[in-house]
Amino acid sequence: MKRSEVKKAQERTAELFARAGIVLTEEERGRIEVAGFGLGRLEEQGLELITYVNTDRYCAKELALFPGQTCPEHLHPPVNGEPGKMETFRCRWGTVYLYVVGERAGEIRAAVPAGSEAWYTVFREIVLGPGEQYTIPPGTKHWFQGGPEGAIVSEFSSTSRDEFDVFTDPSIVRIPVIEEDE
Amino acid sequence: MKRSEVKKAQERTAELFARAGIVLTEEERGRIEVAGFGLGRLEEQGLELITYVNTDRYCAKELALFPGQTCPEHLHPPVNGEPGKMETFRCRWGTVYLYVVGERAGEIRAAVPAGSEAWYTVFREIVLGPGEQYTIPPGTKHWFQGGPEGAIVSEFSSTSRDEFDVFTDPSIVRIPVIEEDE
Ligand SMILES: [Zn+2]
Ligand SMILES: [Zn+2]
């Protein structure tokens, strides 16, 4: 991703956080992570986040999804003999459509990103509005999409080791590579 | 504490959360914990909180402090061979005065609760405004007080086992006992 694109997405994310009443320091606004997953379609498949704290015991992040933006299907495998990352998503603002392993109940509300249908395989739907939350067990596939206004989601979890995440789409690169263009 | 006092404090806490833009479900509003620490002086020494999630790996809570209200000095000891609870306090709204082990730098901003001076022994001051945070190492004493408007603080931590907390004031009872008066 180009530096200019990262900066634009950071500004848009800071605006979403502000609208949701989430205050970041200036230092934090400058290190908002923009994850395009190496797919080159940030608006469609991407995620913006700030990591508040990540120790060897717990982690907390604030996630932002633009309207209709999808965080692609993945799971958190065991690392160094510890069970995979366990995650609680608490919606703070907007709506998030979350999909986990389990029975599909008819039509889903999210639109699977066109051209990537093969990499979306779990469809048990959980819709979270402000104040609603869901905990994803370790080692199980999940993906999620922002609703019509987007979403702000607090993530409470065990230690994050993003570099070990397993994405269903084999072309995904989790750790962003930024190309300096300015 | 009387049920009627608990209910009043729950309503006041729900108002503080709403003012800070923190959305709770109705179920959550009904189980806001009101901790008076058995001292009978909630306005002065007390804490209101909602536990979002507490698993064997991590915990997340939202804390509320009324203006000038103090959470008394305590520490989190090792439990079952695990190091004590590690806590990150992130101020979301208002101001919180936090005191931890370390060198005191002159006058402090908080007022130590009158009559309880003997039970406040650490005075390294950290002032947190919205978006600012601090991580308290396991097993170290700390206490904190709401500023002139009160404070809302997100607590990210390792697993909570409140019943093991060690308070400096030996008369403190951590787990609330509620007397039904209505
Ligand atoms: Zn995940
Ligand atoms: Zn504590």
- Residue A131 Cα to ligand 2 midpoint, Å, equals 24
Rounded Cα distance, A112 and A118, in Å: 10
Burial of B69 (0-12, 13-18, 19+ CB in 10 A): buried
Rounded Cα distance, B144 and B161, in Å: 19
Q: Are A150 and A66 in contact (CB under 8 A)?
A: yes
Give, in degrees to the nearest 5, the angle at Cα B21 between B16 and B27. Answer: 70
- Residue-level pLDDT, tens digit, chain A, 182 residues: 899 999 999 999 999 999 999 999 999 999 999 999 999 999 999 999 999 999 999 999 999 999 999 999 999 999 989 999 999 999 999 999 999 999 999 999 999 999 999 999 999 999 999 999 999 999 999 999 999 999 999 999 999 999 999 999 999 987 778 899 98
Rounded Cα distance, B162 and B170, in Å: 16
Q: Which ligand is nearest the CA of A134, by number?
A: 1
pLDDT digits (tens, 9 = 90+) for B117-148: 999 999 999 999 999 999 999 999 999 999 99
Residue type for position A97: Y
Is there a contact between A23 and B52 if contact means CB atoms under 8 Å apart? Answer: no
Q: Is B161 helix (H, G, I), strand (E, B) or coil?
A: coil
DSSP secondary structure string for all residues of B113-130: PTT-GGG----EEEEE-T
Is there a contact between B57 and A158 if contact means CB atoms under 8 Å apart? Answer: yes
pLDDT digits (tens, 9 = 90+) for A81-101: 999 999 999 999 999 999 999
| CATH number belonging to domain A3-167 | 2.60.120.10
Q: Which has the closest alpha carbon to B23: A68, A95, A108, A171?
A: A95
Query: Is 80 exceeded by the pLDDT of residue B176?
Result: no
Is there a contact between A23 and B57 if contact means CB atoms under 8 Å apart? Answer: no
pLDDT band at B40 (very low <50, low <70, confident <90, very high): very high
Window B:42-101, CB contacts with A under 8 Å:
52-53, 55, 57-60, 86, 88, 90, 92-93
